[in-house]
Amino acid sequence: MLAGIDKRIAVLVSWSKTRDRKKRTKPGRDAFLARFEREVDPEGALPLEERQRRAELAKRAYMLRLAKRSAQARRRN
C-alpha cells in the first residue's frame, strides 16, 4: 500500500494523465448531489425538477455551513 508522499505522487501522475476531468469526477458529484436529493425527498414523492431544485439549495446551505465552520476555526487559531 502506498503511503504519504508516494500516494500523493501517484495521485498527481494519475490526474496528469486524465483527459476529461469532468467525466472522471462525475460519479462522485452525482453521488454527492444524490445525498441531498434523499435528504429533501426521502419518500421520492416530489417531481424530479423540484427534487433537484431543493437538493441544490440544500447543497448550498451545506457548503455555507462548512464555510462558516472554517472561518470560525481560522479565527480560533
| Residue pLDDT, tens place only, 28-67 | 999 999 999 999 999 999 999 999 999 999 999 999 999 9
Sign of CA dihedral 54, 56, 62, 65: negative
Instruction: Give the SS3 label for residue 50.
Output: helix
- pLDDT at 1 exceeding the cut of 70: no
Provide the grid cell at 71.
472561518
Confidence of residue 77 (pLDDT cuts 50, 70, 90): confident
Q: What is the DSSP letter of 44?
A: -
With 0.85 as the threshold, say if the pTM is over it. no
Helix residue ranges, H only, the chain: 4-16, 21-40, 48-76
